[in-house]
Structure 1
């Protein structure tokens, strides 16, 4: 794997629209998590809600992290029919705002 064994991380920060209920959010998260079973290059999925006490989240409430072996895997994921169906028809219409960042984790270098 690239990046010191951690693969490539696909991070999505999201703020759901106020009109989206907590039950709807939970259903969307379940469907997002299920993509790891449908899209081979997607190796892992984790998510969580902001718990920071610094109040620097700029309104973003949820973090979604997917792991891929390499950037080619992210490219395959982005155009996969299951991802396109989920993101275009369900997930993106439920969001007020989002940020997506892909990165390769760098191992800690001891000085």
Structure 2
């Protein structure tokens, strides 16, 4: 991850595998929300379902939008045991995902 100054946005797009129920999706989101307090540099956590207004979603159905105080905060989040354990639970339920980090201008 390149060094940047200021806050960093971490955007995660997810497409759940066929057969994952709405209840399982809700559990994934609740667990994601439950780990948020473990990251002091995490300023905001938002999520939502893709609306398909322009039909460019490429199958992604859920968006997770996190704002960190710094690049170092993102690095701490990625390697933190709570995040690692959550990823081990969450990622097998996904068909595909993409994550990007950027510094807002």
Tell whether the structures are fold-level matches, with TM greater than 0.5: yes
| C-alpha displacement of 1:40 | 2.1
In 2, Cα distance between equivalents of 1:53 and 1:67: 25
- Structure 2 residue 11 is matched with structure 1 residue 11: yes
Q: Where do 1:15-34 residues align within 5 Å?
A: 15-34=15-34
Residue 73 (structure 1) aligned with residue 73 (structure 2): yes
The answer for the alignment partner of 1:100 in structure 2 is 99
1:43 offset after TM fit, Å?
Answer: 2.2
- Output the CA distance in 2 between the equivalents of 1:54 and 1:41: 34
Distance 1:80 1:42 in 2: 13
TM-score by length of 1: 0.86
* Aligned counterparts of 1:25 and 1:36: Cα–Cα separation in 2: 17
Note the residue ranges of structure 2 that are not aligned, 5 or more in a row. Answer: none
Instruction: Find out whether 1:51 has 2:46 as its counterpart.
Output: no
- Largest Rg, 1 or 2: 1
Aligned-partner Cα distance in 1 for 2:85–2:41:
17
SS in 2 for 1:14: strand
Count of residue correspondences = 101
Partner of 2:60: 60
C-alpha separation in 2, matches of 1:76 and 1:53: 35
Normalization by structure 2: what TM-score? Answer: 0.90
Deviation at 1:52, TM superposition (A): 2.8
Calculate the aligned-residue CA RMSD, in Å: 1.2
